[in-house]
Amino acid sequence: MNKTTGCANLYYQPPTGLRMKYPCIVYSEGRIQNWHANDRVYIQHPFYTVTVIDADPDSKLKAAVSVLPKCAYDRQFVSDNLYHTVFTLYT
């Protein structure tokens, strides 16, 4: 994702209290979808929650993430005067 979006501030499940540099991308594992066959898990597809955090509501970083393959827009909210745009990315 770093090469695709050009974002150097990329955090995977950052611990509470970590001072992040903005704009940034925060991502974490959201869920796993299992496909079953013959009473077993046949295929697993992990889903990731990807949040773009930026002071700019029309962030170029948000635009770069929104066009990634297998990426879907989820929601947007404002917290601490920063725009949080949330996407779901699946594999």
pLDDT tens-digit map of 9-59: 999 999 899 999 999 999 999 999 999 999 999 999 999 999 999 999 999
**pLDDT at residue 91 in the model:** 84
**Are 50 and 67 spatial neighbours (Cβ–Cβ below 8 Å)?**
no
Kind of pairing between the strands at 71-79 and 82-90: antiparallel
Q: Where is pLDDT greater, at 8 or 24?
A: 24
Helix or strand (DSSP H, E) at 74: strand 71-79
Give me the domain span that covers residue 48. Answer: 2-90
What is the number of domains present in the chain?
1
Determine contact, residues 44/70, Cβ cutoff 8 Å.
no
Helix then strand count (H, E) for the chain reads 2, 5
Q: pTM, whole model, 2 decimals?
A: 0.84
